[in-house]
Chains A and B, each alone.
Chain A
Amino acid sequence: MRDIQGEPLLKVTDLTVEISTKAGSFFPVNGHNFSVHAGETLGIVGESGSGKSMTAMSLVRLLPKHAAHIRSGSITLNGRELLGLSESEMRKVRGSEIAMILQDPQTSLNPAFTVGEQISEALRLHNPGPRRTLRERAIDALRKVKVAAPEHRIDAYPCELSGGMRQRAVGAIAISCQPKIIIADEPTTSLDVTVQAQYLRLLRELQEETGMAILFITHDFGIVANLCQRVVVMYYGRIVESGPVDRIFANPAHPYTEALIAAVPKLRGQKGRLRTIEGQPPAPTDVVEGCPFAPRCEYAESRCFKELPPTVNADSDGEHTASCWRVVGR
């Protein structure tokens, strides 16, 4: 097992993102606390609209301009505060220290440039060198993500590659500058299941080789179980539970997590209808009093509708926390 003791690589404290509209402010990221250690994979799980992607974009400070901004909190990378950096300092961090893999490989490569041009652009920005070696380094990056015949593929345009191949190319861009952490925002959602499995295996191998950390954003608890050491569960912009994956799987503290795990289809065992969670999450603009999950929660009591539960330890060692009145009362 990797060493996840000591200072975290990425530490997020009380991060709040605000979206101001004429109708008022709301908070797609509300008081987040989490950290990622070198060599570790942290999963962020939640439904669409729960604020996962907003969290990811706020880490690289690329929230949609004018629409959303970081209201408060702190993001440190290796002890350095990112929120205090100027835009040009932040640009040096993007791509070189924090890299990202976006959701849709069909659209995340620029159709007007070759794969090689797109990889070497990142290299040239962060780690310049002569043109010739840039090309060789780009080929190396493609080789690392297991693209066959990288010497040829480097001159291909995105339209000439398959979906899985494109997502590997996006991966090659991400790893090309040897980042300390990769944020992967649902990188396998639009891939075939078999290609998806290959891609996850590839990510794991790359991580073992380079010791980078991965922040893996997904709505699929099955992938989390497969890939991550720790997980953060989000609901309506809040972290409702976080902790080591094995413990949360064995013993989910929050009813939402419990329901998510129950909704993962299993090959063996239980038969019958797939379990789902009744109802819809509140819209981001809704004003919610009490626990946002209460209307869908089978254990909800009257207190849940009135007061927001605090985040408390669900375990004696403080590794596993949850935000639920049932845990508070334990």
Chain B
Amino acid sequence: MFRFLVTRISSSLFALLIITVIVFLLSHLSGSPVDALLPDDATQEQIDSFVREWGLDQPLWQQYLTFLVNAVQGNFGTSLKWPGEDAMGFVLDRMPATLKLGGLAILISVVIALPLGIAAAVYRGSAVDHGAQMFALLGQSMPNFWLGIILIWVFSVWLGWLPTSGMGTFAHAILPAVAIAWFQVSALARLTRSAMLEVLDAEYIKLARVKGVSEGMVVWKHALRNAAVVPLTYFGILAASILTGSVVIETVYSWPGMGWVALEAIRGRDFPVVQAVIIAYAVVYMLSNLFVDLLYVVVDPRIRRG
């Protein structure tokens, strides 16, 4: 188990290193920072001093090493769009807002999807099953920016129950969280259903019933414990994509999170902040996958003992 963890953590770190290379190269491929950062009428002297100041006259590998050493210390330079702000610090300030919204969306996804998927499998072919399939189909067919707008129209404009946008009270978070979660509920519920269906036909389920185990325990203990690996694998992707993929929904709902910062920074060609956002997203992505790997260990004894 120790070896399993060491392998996973070191492969995460390696992936992170690759990402820094990509981020670094991308910011150089997309044109010289000189054009982006200096006004069009800059003199040759100004350009030369800028190049020297930023180390742009050094070989590429040396520039990368400087970037990496600074990045490890959390130093991505200062923001261009928001003068005086430390790039990473600015991003990290917005992280709690994103985590709050993403966390609520993850919670909604899991709390609805798991029971829905399990019920659909246990009552296969029944009204519950058909209803769940319908619900899932809806969620997977609606693009989330569109769903976000429809939700605003129904619940804010028409019914007037919830605020249209912004962050503040808990009520502000409900609509964006639902808009993010619905698609994920659909995917997670369908995966849970198919995993449960497979497991419920297994011989050990029959043996549990033969022992006199009640139907509830058969489903929630014997079957779910084995079926859990499949939705759990998806949960890693789900958590990561909810936490990092909220750019669209944060924009629709003017939610001041990392996604919003990313979009604004790209618009303003604010390279230090863009780099900081990408790295922050990458770390969040890796941590949530690492968390899932830890959950595997809890759920599956074959990994624990292996």
Set A91, A112, A159: member contacting B212, Cβ < 8 A: A91
Query: What total count of A-B pairs have CB within 8 Å?
Result: 78
Which one, A94-102, A228-236, A262-270, is touching chain B? Answer: A94-102
Set B125, B211, B225, B301: member contacting A94, Cβ < 8 A: B211
- Contacts A102-B203, A103-B203: A110 and B210 contacting too (C-beta < 8 A)? no
- Contacts A108-B203, A110-B226, A112-B300: A99 and B210 contacting too (C-beta < 8 A)? yes
How far is B209's CA from A95's CA once the two chains are assembled, in angstroms?
Answer: 9
Q: Are A111 and B211 in contact (CB under 8 A)?
A: no
Q: Are A157 and B202 in contact (CB under 8 A)?
A: no
What total of chain B residues lie within 8 Å of the partner, measured CB to CB? Answer: 21
Question: Counting CB contacts under 8 A, is A81 at the interface?
Answer: no
Set A102, A104, A112, A114: member contacting B210, Cβ < 8 A: A102
Q: Are A95 and B301 in contact (CB under 8 A)?
A: no
Which one, A15-23, A121-129, A144-152, A253-261, is touching chain B? Answer: A121-129
Question: Counting CB contacts under 8 A, is B206 at the interface?
Answer: yes
Q: Are B302 and A159 in contact (CB under 8 A)?
A: yes
Q: Which of A74-129 contact B (CB under 8 A)?
A: 88, 91-96, 99-100, 102-104, 107-114, 121-122, 125-126
- Which residues of the partner chain B approach A104 to less than 8 Å between Cβ atoms? 203
Residue of B nearest to A56 (CB): B210
How far is B302's CA from A157's CA once the two chains are assembled, in angstroms?
Answer: 8
- Contacts A111-B301, A157-B301: A62 and B207 contacting too (C-beta < 8 A)? no
Q: Are B203 and A112 in contact (CB under 8 A)?
A: no
- B223-253 to A contact mask, C-beta < 8 Å, 1/0: 0011000000000000000000000000000
- Which residues of the partner chain B approach A107 to less than 8 Å between Cβ atoms? 202-204
Counting chain A CB atoms within 10 Å of each CB, the highest count among B203, B207, B210, B214 belongs to B210
- Which residues of the partner chain B approach A319 to less than 8 Å between Cβ atoms? none
Label chain B's interface by main secondary structure.
Answer: helix
- B119-140 to A contact mask, C-beta < 8 Å, 1/0: 0000001000000000000000
Q: Are A111 and B226 in contact (CB under 8 A)?
A: yes
Question: Counting CB contacts under 8 A, is B294 at the interface?
Answer: no
Question: Counting CB contacts under 8 A, is A160 at the interface?
Answer: yes
Counting chain A residues whose Cβ lies within 8 A of the other chain, the interface size class is 20 to 34
Rounded to whole Å, the gap between the CB of B136 and the closest CB of chain A is 23
Question: Counting CB contacts under 8 A, is A170 at the interface?
Answer: yes
How far is B204's CA from A111's CA once the two chains are assembled, in angstroms?
Answer: 8
How far is B302's CA from A160's CA once the two chains are assembled, in angstroms?
Answer: 9
Q: Are B207 and A100 in contact (CB under 8 A)?
A: yes
- Which residues of the partner chain B approach A88 to less than 8 Å between Cβ atoms? 214
Residue of A nearest to B223 (CB): A110
Question: Counting CB contacts under 8 A, is B267 at the interface?
Answer: no
Rounded to whole Å, the gap between the CB of A108 and the closest CB of chain B is 4
Residue of B nearest to A160 (CB): B305
- Which residues of the partner chain A approach B204 to less than 8 Å between Cβ atoms? 107-111
How far is B225's CA from A111's CA once the two chains are assembled, in angstroms?
Answer: 9
Q: Which of A187-240 contact B (CB under 8 A)?
A: none
Set A112, A126, A173: member contacting B301, Cβ < 8 A: A112
Question: Counting CB contacts under 8 A, is A245 at the interface?
Answer: no
Q: Are B207 and A94 in contact (CB under 8 A)?
A: no
Q: Are B202 and A122 in contact (CB under 8 A)?
A: no
- Contacts A102-B203, A107-B203: A112 and B225 contacting too (C-beta < 8 A)? yes
Rounded to whole Å, the gap between the CB of A171 and the closest CB of chain B is 12
Rounded to whole Å, the gap between the CB of B303 and the closest CB of chain A is 11
Question: Counting CB contacts under 8 A, is A60 at the interface?
Answer: yes
- Contacts A110-B226, A111-B301, A157-B301: A94 and B202 contacting too (C-beta < 8 A)? no
Residue positions of B touching A, CB distance < 8 A: 125, 202-204, 206-214, 222, 225-226, 299-302, 305
A-B contact pairs, 7 of them (CB 8 A): A94-B210, A94-B211, A95-B210, A99-B210, A102-B203, A108-B203, A121-B213
Q: Which 6 A-B pairs have the closest CB atoms?
A: A95-B212, A94-B212, A95-B211, A107-B203, A110-B204, A112-B225
Residue positions of A touching B, CB distance < 8 A: 60, 62, 66, 88, 91-96, 99-100, 102-104, 107-114, 121-122, 125-126, 157, 159-160, 170, 173
